[in-house]
């Protein structure tokens, strides 16, 4: 298939673009490079062993997105483009609603006009809200605790409503748990701007000496070691989930399918710091700080629907996640070269 990958220069999009190409698809990237660097592109081309078509377009801009779909002869869209920092979304809610909802609306509108029926969307475990029991299942009610989370809840609803109006749409809502790790080459990986919001890039930046210590927010949660537990999955397993979802959408009669992508196994913050210390060969310094408002004790998936319907399972271990993150971070201490 010829596939448009929105946000394909970003962390998950870059790894998925490579796997789509490896699976025989023609993946075309559209990205505005607001949260990624141009220098990822030659690295992707080196890994893919072929040139990759890239369009520098803000997908909220409707005429530009429409033009891409009009000319592209695409059969599917994999939609990663969006802003994802929870704290920033609290400070700039309008920017988050405008960008995240705007991208989805303009892509769906362009797909309708140019007869593209298939889309895979990056949703998140954040849609399970604050009080969901674990493990989390796809049929749980959705809610959110911050504007970023609400953009995901709302985008899922937009897809469902669009599919009611046009049942020929084929939509995959992929609810990611906590993607970490990097390509085994160490040449592409996660490169957040500013202070990382997520644990793994923070641990990696401390390990490489860019920051002093990891702050662990709360060690008095009702978990075995008192620190929060999350469902970390390797970004390469996550990328494979997109390839599997696209294959499934080509054969299903269901308009909107929702799948959790996680391992189903929780890892605590302390366990992750210890695993990373083993991977990098020295102790990663940390300090315990008070709990952060809005953080929950535990979040992990019931991934059984993805396994039974997609034949997909997250295979890689926490030690592999740490080893691959360390390879990327130690080879690229400051992330991608500046544009
Ligand atoms: N990383 C996670 O922990 C996580 C978890 C759950 C869901 N997600 C979702 O997965 C998707 C990808 O996340 P990521 O971690 O790769 O983030 P990322 O920031 O690395 O990638 C997002 C990409 O989208 C691009 N982008 C943003 N707005 C755009 C626009 N208007 N037009 C064109 N390009 C635009 C950015 O430049 C960036 O390259 C996001 O939608 C995110 O919300 C991520």
Return the CATH number at 50: 3.40.50.720
80 Cβ closer than 6 Å to some ligand 1 atom: yes
Mark 327-337 as b/e (b = at least 16 C-beta within 10 Å).
bbbeebeebbe
Q: How far apart are CA 52 and CA 67, in angstroms?
A: 19
34 Cβ closer than 6 Å to some ligand 1 atom: yes
Whole-model pTM?
Answer: 0.98
Please report the atom of ligand 1 found closest to the CA of residue 79. Answer: 41
Tell how far the Cα of 282 is from the centroid of ligand 1, in angstroms: 31
Q: What is the DSSP string of 187-214?
A: SS----SSS-SSHHHHHHHHHTTSSS-E
176 classed as catalytic? no
DSSP strand E in the chain: where?
2-6, 26-31, 54-56, 76-79, 118-124, 170-176, 178-180, 214-217, 229-230, 232-234, 256-261, 267-268, 286-289, 298-299
Tell how far the Cα of 32 is from the centroid of ligand 1, in angstroms: 11
Q: Is the peptide bond before 28 cis (omega within 30 degrees of 0)?
A: no
Say if 164 falls within a structural domain: yes
pLDDT of residue 193: 87
pLDDT of residue 108: 98
pLDDT of residue 197: 86
pLDDT of residue 29: 98
- Kindly state the helix (H) or strand (E) to which residue 327 belongs, with its residue range: helix 318-331
Say if 152 falls within a structural domain: yes
Q: CB of 7 within 8 A of CB of 15? A: no
Tell how far the Cα of 158 is from the centroid of ligand 1, in angstroms: 18
pLDDT of residue 293: 84
16 Cβ closer than 6 Å to some ligand 1 atom: no
Say if 331 falls within a structural domain: no
Please report the atom of ligand 1 found closest to the CA of residue 59. Answer: 32
Say if 59 falls within a structural domain: yes
99 Cβ closer than 6 Å to some ligand 1 atom: yes
Catalytic entry in 148, 176, 232, 300: 148
Closest residue (by CA) to atom 26 of ligand 1? 81
335 Cβ closer than 6 Å to some ligand 1 atom: no
Say if 305 falls within a structural domain: yes
Say if 222 falls within a structural domain: no
pLDDT of residue 339: 82
Please report the atom of ligand 1 found closest to the CA of residue 58. Answer: 32
Say if 199 falls within a structural domain: no
Range of the domain at 13: 2-181+232-264+301-310
Name the residue of 84, 155, 176, 260 whose CB sits within 8 Å of the most ligand 1 atoms, as the mutation to test its pocket: 84
SS3 221: coil
Domain count, the chain: 1
Contacts of 140 (CB under 8 A, 6+ apart): 128, 132
Residue ranges of the chain with per-residue pLDDT less than 70: none
Say if 114 falls within a structural domain: yes
36 Cβ closer than 6 Å to some ligand 1 atom: yes
151 Cβ closer than 6 Å to some ligand 1 atom: no
Measure Cα distances from 139 to 132, 181, 188 in Å.
Answer: 11, 28, 34
155 Cβ closer than 6 Å to some ligand 1 atom: no
Q: How far apart are CA 10 and CA 78, in angstroms?
A: 13
């Amino acid at each position: 298939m010829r596939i448009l990958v929105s946000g394909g220069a970003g962390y998950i999009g870059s790894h998925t673009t490579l796997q789509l190409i490896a699976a025989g698809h023609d993946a075309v990237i559209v990205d505005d490079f607001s949260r990624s660097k141009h220098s990822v592109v030659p690295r992707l081309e080196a890994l893919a062993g072929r040139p990759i078509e890239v369009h520098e377009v803000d997908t909220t801009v409707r005429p530009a997105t429409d033009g891409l779909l009009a000319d592209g002869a695409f059969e599917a869209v994999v939609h990663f483009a969006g802003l994802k920092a929870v704290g920033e979304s609290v400070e700039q809610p309008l920017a988050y609603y405008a960008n995240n909802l705007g991208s989805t609306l303009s892509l769906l509108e362009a797909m309708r006009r140019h007869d593209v029926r298939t889309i895979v969307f990056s949703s998140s475990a954040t849609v399970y809200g604050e009080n969901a029991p674990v493990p989390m299942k796809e049929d749980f009610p959705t809610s959110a605790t911050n504007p970023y989370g609400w953009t995901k809840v709302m985008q899922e609803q937009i897809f469902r409503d669009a599919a009611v109006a046009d049942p020929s749409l084929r939509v995959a809502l992929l609810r990611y748990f906590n993607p970490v790790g990097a390509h085994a080459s160490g040449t592409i990986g996660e490169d957040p701007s500013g202070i990382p919001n997520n644990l793994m890039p923070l641990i990696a930046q401390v390990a490489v000496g860019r920051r002093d210590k990891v702050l662990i927010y709360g060690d008095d949660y009702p978990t075995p070691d008192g620190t929060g537990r999350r469902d970390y999955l390797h970004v390469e397993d996550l990328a494979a989930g997109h390839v599997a979802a696209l294959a499934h959408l080509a054969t299903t009669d269901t308009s909107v399918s929702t799948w959790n992508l996680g391992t189903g196994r929780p890892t605590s913050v302390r366990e992750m710091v210890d695993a990373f210390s083993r991977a990098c060969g020295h102790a990663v310094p940390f300090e315990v700080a008070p709990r952060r408002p809005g953080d929950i004790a535990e979040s992990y998936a019931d991934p059984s629907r993805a396994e039974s319907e997609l034949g997909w399972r997250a295979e890689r271990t926490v030690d592999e996640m740490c080893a691959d993150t360390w390879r990327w971070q130690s080879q690229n201490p400051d992330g991608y070269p500046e544009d």
